[in-house]
Amino acid sequence: MSSGKSIQTDVLVVGSGAVGVAASIEAKEAGAQVIVLEKEDHLGGAAAISGGGCCIVDTPLQREKGIQDSPNLAFDDWISWGQGSADEEWVRFYVEQSCQGLYEWAKERGVDWVGVNPNEGNSVPRWHRPEGGGGGLWHALYATALSRGIDSWIPSTAVRELIVENGRAIGVRVENLETGESQEYFAKAIVMGTGGFASNLDMVMEHRPDLRDHRILEGSHVGARGDGHHIVQEAGGILTHMGDMWFYSFAIPDHRDPNQRRGLVIRGMADAVWVNMQGHRFHNEELTGGWSGTRAIMAQEPAQCWAIIDGAMREHVVVSDPYYYQEGISVRDYEKVAELLEVSPYIKRGSTLEALALDMDVTVETLKGTIDRYNTHIDSGLEKDPDFGRPMAGRQKIEQPPFYALNYGPLARKNFGGVKTDLRCQVVDKNYRVIEGLFAAGELAGMAGGHINGKAGLEGTMLGPALFSGRVAGAWAAREAGFGGGFGG
């Protein structure tokens, strides 16, 4: 069904997440007319539900805290952490520009940077925390976009294909998901910012057949299903490093999902003890991140573990899913969290460790032995546990009933590969020739350029580059449409 009526604009932005806000602001500030199309019935994508942390280099906030950083130091950390797979040109571009081009730019547009956290692989703390997390950051930029006069944010409108004429992208065909009608939008330049594919398990497995025997959970925003990858590829664009993905391991299957594919990310379990499915500790639980935590779990047979907490720790559990928050505000709905602990088939429970072991299907002697030994390390006042090197200062023992064991396993969160672009975010074809009129940024482009992270991310290296490449794409798209001088121009 077609409505027949087509719409024309200067710059069309597809996706309303990080790229959506950054590209639209940039293009509008250059003087272009902008329309943003969004598939879901809500705006914001992964950006608006993200932690909001951005890896930024040598900022006033770092200096205020006495942290000495530099683009050279960050470049070296980034390249070695990416294990030879990061795109050096894009990394250099980003680390040189991130202070001025992201930190200051966002600050001038309403984002308040309030903290800097350390993360694995970084020589110094770089993970810059905005006020209000990802929601706070996205809403501040969205408010700026509205104040600049970008009022065409069109939800429930899925782009299905690009319209290409004589090798140039001139528009898109969309489906209105409420009415089923199709429609065409024409533009002088198009920025694709449709995000990743970590919420499409079939696509994850297509690019990571080695994981087919494991229980892998879907874990990004609901819209992250890889639409843009197929659409750009059909228009001649190329995909690169598609097997490089970032998995987290502190997640259990969502028992409310009829397909049992989605995962729930669990936080607030700082004192949990991880044991494998046989009941043995195997890792320093301090290192829960996408690199060491996930690798440690992937090395177990099966690639899952139990995160054990006691009755005192239960109070701090946070479930990173909108259902477990009170509507409209970011306040934890503790009743729902408590209910999850009691009803999820992926959480085992017991009023004693013996009862917990039975529920976990682990021998009582093994589990009791593991937990008793761990508690003894705390009692003996050791600085680090002698088995796996976990820092022991201030640790809570597992001692107060009831006891819980959460069945953790890998959850696909972020895509480090995607559409290949040049440094202007112009999509290139298999001959590395630019497809005129077509730009790609953010997670669709492996966060920027195709593979800015490589095989591992320093954290904050997803949202940061997505916003930054969104800006770059927006500026060059505006210039293509006849406005402004391009990024930095």
**From CA 320, how far away is CA 347, in angstroms rounded?**
16
> Phi and psi of 98, rounded to 5°?
-60, -35
Whole-number minimum distance, CB 371 to ligand FAD, in Å? 31
Q: Which is nearer to ligand FAD, 362 or 444 (CB)?
A: 444
Cβ-contact 439, 232 below 8 angstroms: no
- DSSP category for residue 395: P
Among 82, 454, 464, 474, binds ligand FAD (CB under 6 A): 464
Residues within window 299-358 making contact with ligand FAD, judged by CB under 6 A:
320
Cβ-contact 405, 153 below 8 angstroms: no
Q: Which is nearer to ligand FAD, 200 or 370 (CB)?
A: 200
Cβ-contact 305, 408 below 8 angstroms: yes
Residue 363 φ/ψ region, left for φ over 0, alpha for ψ in the -120 to 50 degree band, beta for the rest: beta
Tell me: does residue 128 bind ligand FAD (CB under 6 A).
no
**From CA 90, how far away is CA 401, in angstroms rounded?**
51
**From CA 260, how far away is CA 249, in angstroms rounded?**
16
Query: What token pair was written down for 432?
Result: 């590395």
Whole-number minimum distance, CB 174 to ligand FAD, in Å? 7
Residues within window 16-55 making contact with ligand FAD, judged by CB under 6 A:
16-20, 37-40, 45-47, 49-53
Q: Which is nearer to ligand FAD, 223 or 236 (CB)?
A: 223
Q: Name the segment binding ligand FAD (CB under 6 A); options: 79-87, 300-308, 339-347, 457-465.
A: 457-465
Tell me: does residue 158 bind ligand FAD (CB under 6 A).
yes
- DSSP category for residue 444: T
The SS3 assignment for 299 reads coil
Binding mask 164-203 for ligand FAD (x = CB under 6 A): -----------------------------xxx--------
Q: Which is nearer to ligand FAD, 51 or 437 (CB)?
A: 51
**From CA 276, how far away is CA 281, in angstroms rounded?**
6
Whole-number minimum distance, CB 143 to ligand FAD, in Å? 17
- Residue 165: count of CB within 10 angstroms of its CB: 9
Beta strand spans in 249-385 (E): 251-253, 263-267, 273-276, 305-309, 318-320, 347-350
Q: Which is nearer to ligand FAD, 242 or 357 (CB)?
A: 242
Binding mask 209-228 for ligand FAD (x = CB under 6 A): -----------xx-xx--xx
Q: Name the segment binding ligand FAD (CB under 6 A); options: 204-212, 355-363, 364-372, 436-444.
A: 436-444
Q: Which is nearer to ligand FAD, 16 or 122 (CB)?
A: 16
Q: Which is nearer to ligand FAD, 145 or 367 (CB)?
A: 145
Task: Provide the residue type at 312 as one letter.
Answer: A
Q: Which is nearer to ligand FAD, 139 or 280 (CB)?
A: 139
Cβ-contact 228, 192 below 8 angstroms: yes
Among 444, 456, 458, 475, binds ligand FAD (CB under 6 A): 444
**From CA 87, how far away is CA 100, in angstroms rounded?**
21
Q: Which is nearer to ligand FAD, 191 or 353 (CB)?
A: 191
**From CA 317, how far away is CA 369, in angstroms rounded?**
25
Residue 482 φ/ψ region, left for φ over 0, alpha for ψ in the -120 to 50 degree band, beta for the rest: left
Cβ-contact 411, 310 below 8 angstroms: no
Residues within window 52-91 making contact with ligand FAD, judged by CB under 6 A:
52-53
Per rule CB under 6 A, count of chain residues that contact ligand FAD: 43
**From CA 45, how far away is CA 221, in angstroms rounded?**
6
Among 136, 290, 350, 442, binds ligand FAD (CB under 6 A): 442
Among 159, 169, 239, 297, binds ligand FAD (CB under 6 A): 159
**From CA 36, how far away is CA 41, in angstroms rounded?**
13
Tell me: does residue 266 bind ligand FAD (CB under 6 A).
no
Say how far residue 440 (Cα) sits from the centre of its chain. Answer: 17
> Phi and psi of 38, rounded to 5°?
-135, 130
Residues within window 275-304 making contact with ligand FAD, judged by CB under 6 A:
none
Say how far residue 434 (Cα) sits from the centre of its chain. Answer: 28
Whole-number minimum distance, CB 172 to ligand FAD, in Å? 8
Binding mask 378-417 for ligand FAD (x = CB under 6 A): -----------------------------------xx---
Tell me: does residue 130 bind ligand FAD (CB under 6 A).
no
Question: Binding residues for ligand FAD, per CB under 6 A?
Answer: 14-20, 37-40, 45-47, 49-53, 134, 158-159, 193-195, 220-221, 223-224, 227-228, 320, 413-414, 442-444, 460-464, 466
